[in-house]
Amino acid sequence: MKKIKVSSGIFWVEEPETDLRVLCGCPADSVKHLMRKGLIIEQELNGISCETGPNAILLSDLPLQKEHFANLAEFPVLQMLYRQGMMIPGHPGNTGDKPLLIGIEDQVLAQAEYIYRGNYGLDSKEKMVAAGISGKLAENLMRMKMKFSFDEIKKTDELLDIRVVEDERIEIKNGVFIKRTATNVYEFSYNGSRVEVDLNLQYNESYEAPYSLGHHKIKRQYFSVIHTGEGNGWDINRPCMSSIITYQGKIYLIDAGPNITHALTSLGISANEIEGIFHTHAHDDHFNGLTVLLRSDHRVKYFSTPLVRASVERKLGALLSLDRDDFSKNFEVHDLELDKWNNIEGLEVRPVLSPHPVETNILFFRVLWENGYKTYAHFADIAAFDVLNSMVTDDPKGHGISKEYCEEVKKMYMTPVNLKKLDIGGGMIHGKAKDFTEDQSDKILLSHTEEALTDKQKEIGASTSFGMADVLITAQQDFIKSNAFKHLKMYFPEAPQYELSLLLNCPVASYNPGSFILRKGEMPDKLYFLLSGIVEYIATDHGSHNYLSSGTIMGEIAALSYSEIRGTYRAASIAYALEIPCSLYLEFAKRNNLLGKIKQNLGLRRFIQGTWLIGDMISCPVKSRLVRSATEVEFETNQELIPDEKGDLFIIHEGAMDIYYKDERIDVQGSGGVFGEEKILFGKHSTVRAKTITESKILQIPAEALQGIPIIQWKLLELYEKRTKRWKYE
């Protein structure tokens, strides 16, 4: 029996005698990692080209690790079904076996529902009407969906075999057994041979991207398109098709695909800097990076049609067993009207339905400028003209589309614009470059393919690479400085504008990735107000390694307390910071009667800066608000922590506590440890208990103070999942 470490949190287990090949762990882009390792390669069977690969997937017990999805089996399953040929009639890879899905019950069921939603989206006319469209349109969309689905919507268990692992060792296939020995730890055995797989990410591990993107300086233009992905779900060298729009210095994403954290870091953008996301549809290569937008201290704006949003909500809910209402708790939802120009503070967007197996809208953007509008069209996951033609039916009740609708879609695809990005992935559900030979757009970019462009395609459209930008309207102002004013105003709302301008007149410094901004042990003579990019805060003596984003003041506490820096601030991406002399900052605070206020609770502010829950990706104004809302309470030894009816979150400042389920201890927490997450997340009393081990000082933060901070909710959900897995399965 063979085990190979593929990447952090991903392993390959193979038993050749039984023809068992298990992908253990399937976070984002796990298929691309297998390709890089040579565990998926092209082959020819009976004259037919296809791929090798896994025929089973072992799921993580934990749906989240390091605030990222740990189980994303959609693309690995698609690779087995289609690229290996396991479900294609007459294909030599179709031996009658189905892909195996292995794991604990709740994760197997969650993945089955998520894969189903990825295949079909909204699976009934009634669900579409509930999303706000007319009954006639819903009927036509269902006819089209059934045609894409080969006239039948299949439940996931018709496509997959499932093995639920509980307390006992079970057989997977032909004498190969598996046993769960601890949370995320499994033992495979066959004929006396054993291998152990530990899917837990270690302290210094994160899920990795299969490609390197380098670091890029971007400029926030008045209206531009930054290209962040030209590949597809199988391209091992590039991110999946996506773009960023900058408008009046604000940053908007178009879709959120796998490893978007890696892409944003390469561009020097943190989640806190993202104004919003425009979403085309819920296929994984455009969807599974949504969690990154929850690593923010405010709700990111979500723009799409209600139809697409309903599909996305159901798929996200399936992954995490969340209610659909939880979506609006984590995102600021802005529904767009179909086929109309929706005005978003001057940026106009027109979503148009596009034929696809799940609910999909392509997007037109325009901004007013001299001589009219400048327009960008983002055509993700469109259908090729020959596919559209093959779907035409004269039967008004038959599966497919009408001739009139077919011609209407083609005409809409050919709308001339200044810049158009096209999906040319081909096959049954993607576009083809040749259909746009006569397109009169100023510039066409060909995207969403893993293949090199042919000469014919190069005659039709251009290509681009990660980090390149097409500027449609050039900026004549410095949006970095205007962004600085916004953050300063949030931190010092009482200060008049002319006083804030005093600080804004300080220079803006740029830092390359890996460079120091402040080092442990220094007595700072300057503060650094982070305007853009990501900075690491590392304090090994205190067990801290957090990431800081825009709105963070570095060195403030040391300057106010006339003490040394306790940790090192190091640029993790290209970063920009306002350099403010400490003497000027203190004089500014005195002049505006702010010194007493910002000096309050310095000890608590220093403490929470190093905690995993609040010290990470939360700006200084939000941290200060949380400190002001907190109450520090002293607890005696063996005293139980009980949230009130509204709910409190307990964070240990000094001391330690045990976490119990019934009478069994399942966790021990020291300084920075947290309890009360279940009440905060679900509004119900906890199924676990906490009791102090020693005399302790504990911060109690009321539930209402934590609302509207997605990264805290997200981290608490991961903590809740870890604890419940311990008492349910161990």
Q: Could you tell me which residues come within 8 angstroms of residue 645 by beta carbon, excluding any fewer than 6 positions away? A: none
Please give the pLDDT value at position 634. 95
Closest by CA to 265, choosing from 7, 536, 26, is 536
Decide if pLDDT at 730 tops 70: no
| CB 626 within 8 Å of CB 615 | no
For residue 1, the Cα-to-chain-centroid distance in whole angstroms is 35
Q: Where in the chain is the domain with CATH 3.60.15.10?
A: 223-473
The string of pLDDT tens digits covering residues 108-165 is 999 999 999 999 999 999 999 999 999 999 999 999 999 999 899 988 888 899 999 9
Which residues share a beta bridge with 377? 364, 420
The string of pLDDT tens digits covering residues 8-59 is 999 999 999 999 999 999 999 999 999 999 999 999 998 999 999 999 999 9
For residue 436, the Cα-to-chain-centroid distance in whole angstroms is 32
Decide if pLDDT at 171 tops 70: yes
Backbone angles phi, psi at 317, to 5 degrees: -65, -35
| CB 690 within 8 Å of CB 641 | yes
What percent of the chain clears pLDDT 90, i.e. is strictly above it? 83
Helices 602-609 and 620-629: angle between axes, nearest 10 degrees:
120
The string of pLDDT tens digits covering residues 484-509 is 888 899 889 999 999 999 999 999 99
Decide if pLDDT at 514 tops 80: yes
3-state secondary structure of 272: helix
Decide if pLDDT at 645 tops 80: no
| Amino acid at site 303 | F
Please give the pLDDT value at position 605. 87
3-state secondary structure of 555: coil
DSSP class of residue 132 equals: T
Decide if pLDDT at 728 tops 70: no
Tally of CB atoms within 10 A around 158:
10
Nearest 10 degrees: Cα torsion 268, 273, 275, 281: 50
CA distance 91 to 84: 9
Mean pLDDT rounded to a whole number for the chain: 94
3-state secondary structure of 254: strand
CA distance 604 to 683: 27
Mean pLDDT computed over 440-444: 98
Tally of CB atoms within 10 A around 262:
21
The string of pLDDT tens digits covering residues 231-266 is 999 999 999 999 999 999 999 999 999 999 999 999
CA distance 619 to 607: 15
Please give the pLDDT value at position 477. 87
Decide if pLDDT at 729 tops 70: no
Please give the pLDDT value at position 652. 96
Specify the CATH number of the domain 223-473. Answer: 3.60.15.10
Decide if pLDDT at 686 tops 80: no
Q: How far is CA 690 from CA 259, 301, 648, 666, 677, in A?
A: 36, 36, 13, 10, 11
The string of pLDDT tens digits covering residues 348-382 is 999 999 999 999 999 999 999 999 999 999 999 99
CATH 3.30.460.80 correct for 630-730 = no
Pick the CATH number of 478-623 from 2.60.120.10, 2.60.450.10, 2.60.120.620, 3.40.50.1820: 2.60.120.10
Please give the pLDDT value at position 26. 97
CA angle 212–216–222, rounded 5-degree value:
135
Please give the pLDDT value at position 434. 97
| CB 373 within 8 Å of CB 366 | yes
| CB 242 within 8 Å of CB 253 | yes
Q: How far is CA 52 from CA 76, 188, 429, 434, 471, in A?
A: 12, 22, 23, 31, 43
**Cβ-based burial of 473 (10 A; exposed 0-12, middle 13-18, buried ≥19):** middle
Among the listed ranges 402-406, 429-433, 585-589, 641-645, which one has the minimum average pLDDT value? Answer: 641-645
CA angle 330–336–337, rounded 5-degree value:
150
DSSP class of residue 401 equals: B
Mean pLDDT computed over 429-456: 97
CA distance 179 to 165: 7
| CB 36 within 8 Å of CB 62 | no
Whether this model's pTM surpasses 0.85: yes
Which residues share a beta bridge with 632? 699
For the chain, the farthest-separated pair of C-alpha atoms sits apart, in whole angstroms, at 82
Q: What sign does the CA torsion over 268, 274, 276, 282 have? A: positive
Tally of CB atoms within 10 A around 78:
21
Closest by CA to 556, choosing from 579, 528, 591, is 528
| CB 183 within 8 Å of CB 730 | yes
Mean pLDDT computed over 557-580: 93
Which residues share a beta bridge with 545? 538
Q: Where in the chain is the domain with CATH 2.60.120.10?
A: 478-623, 630-730
